[in-house]
Amino acid sequence: MACTYNDLYLNIRRQLKAAGIEAAQLEARELVCCAAGKDRESFYRDLPLYVSSQVEARAVQLAARRRAGEPVAYLLGEWEFYGLTLEVSPQVLIPRMDTELLAERAILLTRAAGRGARVLDLCAGSGCVGLAVAANVPECRVVLADFSPEALELCRRNARRNELDLRVKCVQADALRPPGPEFGDFDVVACNPPYIPTGDIEGLDVSVREFEPRCALDGGADGLDFYRAICGQWAAVLRLGGSLLFEVGAGQSADVEVLLAGSGFTHIRAWQDTQGIWRVVEGEIPLKRAFE
């Protein structure tokens, strides 16, 4: 029996809501748009129209995958972050609202560094943080660094998609090892590293545990492996007075502050996200490196 776009949307919304998906209304709309190749404006315009059997079948399939736990961002193939539309895939973490605080702090510090500031987004994933900086600080230069070749290719596509590729460079790097000479020096290094303790991964929501890349989640036994390595080895790429800032997990801010202090950073501060979690920790290289 033929149904309208409105019927299809309401049916999928009911299914998602019954599956316990909080954003059922928003996600149902996005899945129907994806299945039909429509933007939001045409979706609302066409609600009274009948849906083809092919579009209905695609929408029903997408909804079934979503009910099984697959993240809606992977189903859509794109996600919004800090005003940018970014391509995403199962090879990278889905950009989250929590990470917008890291981007916001990086933007402010980059602006303060002045014309020609250089920024490194380490463990870049989709490139969301570095691209947000590039988009909001037009006179800066950004390097996106990740160990995964698939992530770097996604970074390149996202830079082109948002017309930022002339000021953004992508470089392969292992954050657990010292940086090579090709990096040069930076005013700001922003990093959202893997920080979930290994033993906690099995307890994560199925949408994260089964679908997002484990290598982007697993931070070692206590979740701090990447913070130790980066504080100890990547300070060398910062200019005097430059800043290193991290996203951290709930309850990790104090430990990361200690690691920064032990590596010679000063003016160490933490910032809370909208949920009251200490989500970003930053420190500054003193104008005279006491640890050299």
Rounded Cα gap, residues 118 and 141, in angstroms: 5
Between 225-233 and 253-262, two packed helices, what is the crossing angle to 10 degrees?
20
User: Percentage of residues in the chain with pLDDT exceeding 90?
Assistant: 94
Question: d(Cα 101, Cα 131) in Å, to the nearest integer?
Answer: 14
Instruction: Please say if the pLDDT value at position 272 is more than 80.
Output: yes
Integer Cα distance of 285 and 186 in angstroms: 11
Residue with tokens 């906690």: 200
Q: What is the pLDDT of residues 207-246, one digit of tens each?
A: 899 999 999 999 999 999 999 999 999 999 999 999 999 9
Q: How confident is the model at residue 2 (pLDDT cuts 50, 70, 90)?
A: confident
The type of residue at 128 is C
In this predicted structure, what is the pLDDT of residue 290? 47
- For the chain, the average pLDDT equals 95
Question: Residue 288 — very low, low, confident or very high, per pLDDT cuts 50/70/90?
Answer: low
Q: What is the pTM of this model?
A: 0.91
Query: Could you report the per-residue pLDDT of 114-172, keeping only the tens digit for each?
Result: 999 999 999 999 999 999 999 999 999 999 999 999 999 999 999 999 999 999 999 99
Under 8 Å between Cβ of 52 and 5: no
Residue 76: its H or E element: helix 72-76
Q: Which band of pLDDT confidence, cut at 50, 70 and 90, is reported for residue 292? A: very low
pLDDT in tens, 75-103: 999 999 999 999 999 999 999 999 999 99
% residues pLDDT > 70 (the chain): 98
Residues 6+ positions from 11 with CB-CB distance below 8 Å: 3
Backbone CA torsion sign across 169, 184, 225, 243: negative
Average pLDDT over residues 194-215: 94
- The pLDDT, as a whole number, for residue 1 is 63
Mention every residue, 6+ apart, whose C-beta is less than 8 A from residue 77.
34, 87, 88, 89
